[in-house]
């Protein structure tokens, strides 16, 4: 529906309208007869899936990459390796410092750059009033961080996050390791073991088009966050175009 794949031959692009009523009867018939609807945007994904239509990405993918709360519940339910994290509602927030020694990260329920580095319990009352629930996470010192791009449940690119800049802490200072992305040589054991497990994980929850942030520690790897995948990224062979990858999958019959 969104015009992202308009250059892909054989696809009909309808465009995104304010409501379903803005599509003509013929266009709605096209939607109902389609085998797969690409990029319906969050506005229509849930409606189309409720009507029995398969979408790319899924409605869940749109939701989970915006919701830190949904991601944390998903990671806990599937027992994914990830930083120790707890969700606090209402009066339960008073017990945060019993569970997490300072410093720690405090975050709201939505994925954005709103993580706060809390160094003192005195900062918590203000944050508790800002967010409900309040998500608290231990600080992990990663040896390396990577951004993996998955298209059709397969890893299409691996980028290393290079430190530079930082997220804001509660007192206005920065949290180190806010990154830029660079293509790097990835160790063989990394691309085999970790990518294989992530591909199985994403397929199990139908996250067909997603970016995955992971960190490497001395004890192993951890899943940090699910994010919107980039449109393109650098590689040793040149710039990789994600939409071009999707078009080739469509033309080959794999999508």
77 confidence band (pLDDT: 50, 70, 90): very high
* pLDDT at 148 (0 to 100): 92
The domain segmentation of the chain, as residue ranges, is 3-56, 81-137, 141-251
* Average pLDDT estimate for 231-248: 89
Q: Which two tokens stand for residue 161?
A: 């996050």
Degrees (nearest 5) of the Cα angle 54, 45, 181?
95
CA distance 192 to 197: 9
| pLDDT at site 172 | 43
Average pLDDT over residues 194-204: 93
DSSP sequence for 44-58? HHHHHHHTT--EES-
Percent of the chain with pLDDT over 90: 62
Structure tokens at 82: 């990830």
Q: Which helix (H) or strand (E) holds 246?
A: helix 242-251
CATH no., domain 141-251: 3.30.470.20
pLDDT digits (tens, 9 = 90+) for 25-76: 999 999 999 999 999 989 899 999 999 999 999 999 999 999 999 999 999 9
d(CA 179, CA 175): 11
At 102-130, the pLDDT tens digits run 899 999 998 876 688 898 888 888 888 88
Reply yes or no on domain 81-137 having CATH 2.40.10.10: no
């Amino acid at each position: 529906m969104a015009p992202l794949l308009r250059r892909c031959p054989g696809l009909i692009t309808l465009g995104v309208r304010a409501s379903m009523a803005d599509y003509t009867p013929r266009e709605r018939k096209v939607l109902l007869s389609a085998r797969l609807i690409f990029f319906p945007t969050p506005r229509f994904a849930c409606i189309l899936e409720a009507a029995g239509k398969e979408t790319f990405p899924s409605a869940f993918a749109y939701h989970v990459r915006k919701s830190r709360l949904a991601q944390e519940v998903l990671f806990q339910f599937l027992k994914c390796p990830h930083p120790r994290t707890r969700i606090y509602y209402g009066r339960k927030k008073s017990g945060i410092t019993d569970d997490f020694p300072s410093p720690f990260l405090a975050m709201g329920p939505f994925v954005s750059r709103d993580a706060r580095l809390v160094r003192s319990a005195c900062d918590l009352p203000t944050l508790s009033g800002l967010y409900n629930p309040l998500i608290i996470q231990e600080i992990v010192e990663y040896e390396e961080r990577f951004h993996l791009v998955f298209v059709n449940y397969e890893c299409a690119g691996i980028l290393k996050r290079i430190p530079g800049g930082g997220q804001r802490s509660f007192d206005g200072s920065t949290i180190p390791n806010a990154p830029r992305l660079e293509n790097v040589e990835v160790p063989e054991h990394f691309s085999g073991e970790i990518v294989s497990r992530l591909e199985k994980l994403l397929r199990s929850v139908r996250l067909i088009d997603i970016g995955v942030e992971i960190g490497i520690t001395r004890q192993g790897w951890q899943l940090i966050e699910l994010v919107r995948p980039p449109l393109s990224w650098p590689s040793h062979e040149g710039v990789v175009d994600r939409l071009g990858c999707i078009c080739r999958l469509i033309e080959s019959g794999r999508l």
